Amino acid sequence: MIMKAHPSARIDPDLLNEVTAQVATAIDDRQISETFTAIMKDNLPAVAELAPDGTTYLLTGDIPAMWLRDSAAQVRPYLILCGRDEALAETLVGVFRRQLEFIAIDPYANSFKRGTEPSPHAGDRSDAPPQVWERKYEIDSLCFPLELGYALWRITGRHDHLDDRFAEVATTILDLWERELDHEQSAYFFERDSPLPTETLSRDGRGEPVGRTGMSWSGFRPSDDACTYNYNVPGNMFAAVTLGYLAIIAKEILSDAAIADRAATLQASITDGIEQYGAVDHPDFGRVYCYETDGLGHHLLMDDANMPSLLSLPLSGYRPVDDPTYLATRSMILSEINPFYFSGRAAAGIGSPHTRPGYVWPIALAVQGLTATDRAEKLRLLRLLVDTTGGTGQMHESFDVDDPTQFSRPWFSWANAMMCELVLDLAGHRLDQLISD
């Protein structure tokens, strides 16, 4: 069930009407247009809480916490349009500013509370301060705010959010990523009493052994599940891209050569590590990227529904849609070689160990559409998304490939946002083009 709306966080009605008309012309499907309009109208106001300090607290949907990753992903379709809506841009800048403050509190945390109210994870053994909802360190959690800050500048032309506070937090991110090049030098640990092994780190909360690769260590995946091997490849790919953004900001906005040089050096280290340790030769698909590696000869060939993923590499900006290694990887993960690719009577797509076997994720279906080069394939996946809401008109976390009325999380704001981004893509509005123009 959608929570109460905050009208001041809405998109301008005239702009929404204009975009809806473009969608209707481009797609010519009344149900898709109506679903898109309803979600775009309500998805942001339902989760945005505007604070007097100018920041925006963004709920993940039906969980009363703010994830660094989710909050950036939730605003992606609005980011595409905020260059024509100053009030909307201000709301999104508020999300970015709140993310900076959270990172300053604890750069290892993945999600945060409004204040210091009790958390259901109070029994975790970690160094979490009271403002933290959960302290699962995921490298991508620090990538998304960097991308959001860069995108806001490129789309709106404003850069008041890329200020001294941003420089301080960017330095904190660099410090952490450099430290985690050698996890033995890190003090981070995380333990949780749970029957699920993916909820905690092994070896007294330190994770499995790794070798130095040039990549940066991560405890958990974008799904909030523990890594099997602690170099998450798509997360490192996203880090490499956002370090490039940081280097540009440091040069053109901050005039800070030290940050620019550190970002460029770390970007080169991570990229070299990915290409040396994060790719393997598959007997059927050729050279492909793996999902995780430990730098000690072990590789995990799979993909997970959550972004960043191997499927989402073009959205993350690491490789274009026609890159040979990406295409080979895409073919592999959209097949039964990927243990989390499920096919049934109603749908086929990528799921996650985070949810039940046989359940696919609308996020992954949207990403598959956004990275497809064939318009018919994009339309097929969009139609599939609209047809598998189980009668709710909302995207879910996951649903049964044989029976879409069986699903997890009745309302998942991030999935709603990804569906809207795919609609906008088909209507000629792409985030990557806006950032690169």
Contact criterion met (CB below 8 Å) for 83 and 429: no
Q: How far apart are CA 437 and CA 429, in angstroms?
A: 12
* Alpha helices by DSSP H, 180-312: 202-205, 233-249, 257-277
pLDDT value at residue 39: 96
407-408, strands of its sheet edge to edge: 359-360, 398-400, 407-408
How many C-beta neighbours within 10 Å does residue 325 have? 16
- pLDDT tens-digit profile of 214-263? 999 999 999 999 999 999 999 999 999 999 999 999 999 999 999 999 99
d(CA 133, CA 69): 14
Asked if residues 105 and 112 have their Cβ atoms less than 8 Å apart, the reply is yes
| CATH number listed for the domain at residues 7-333 | 1.50.10.10
CA dist 104 to 129, 136, 252, Å? 11, 16, 23
The tens-digit pLDDT sequence of the chain (437 residues) is: 444 567 678 899 999 999 999 999 999 999 999 999 999 999 999 999 999 999 999 998 788 899 999 999 999 999 999 999 999 999 999 999 999 999 999 999 999 999 888 889 989 999 999 999 999 999 999 999 999 999 999 999 999 999 999 999 999 999 999 999 999 999 999 999 999 999 999 999 999 999 999 999 999 999 999 999 999 999 999 999 999 999 999 999 999 999 999 999 999 999 999 999 999 999 999 999 999 999 999 999 999 999 999 999 999 999 999 999 999 999 999 999 999 999 999 999 999 999 999 999 999 999 999 999 999 999 999 999 999 999 999 999 999 999 999 999 988 999 999 999 999 999 999 999 999 85
Residue 389: predicted pLDDT: 95
Q: How many CB atoms lie within 10 A of CB 193?
A: 9
**What is residue 188's predicted lDDT score, i.e. its pLDDT?**
98
The span from the CA of 390 to the CA of 409, in Å, is 12
Q: Is residue 88 within 8 Å of residue 82, measured between CB atoms? A: yes
pLDDT reported for residue 5: 64
Q: What is the pLDDT of residue 63?
A: 86
* Cα angle 347, 372, 10; round to 5: 85
Q: Per residue in 7-25, pLDDT tens? A: 678 899 999 999 999 999 9
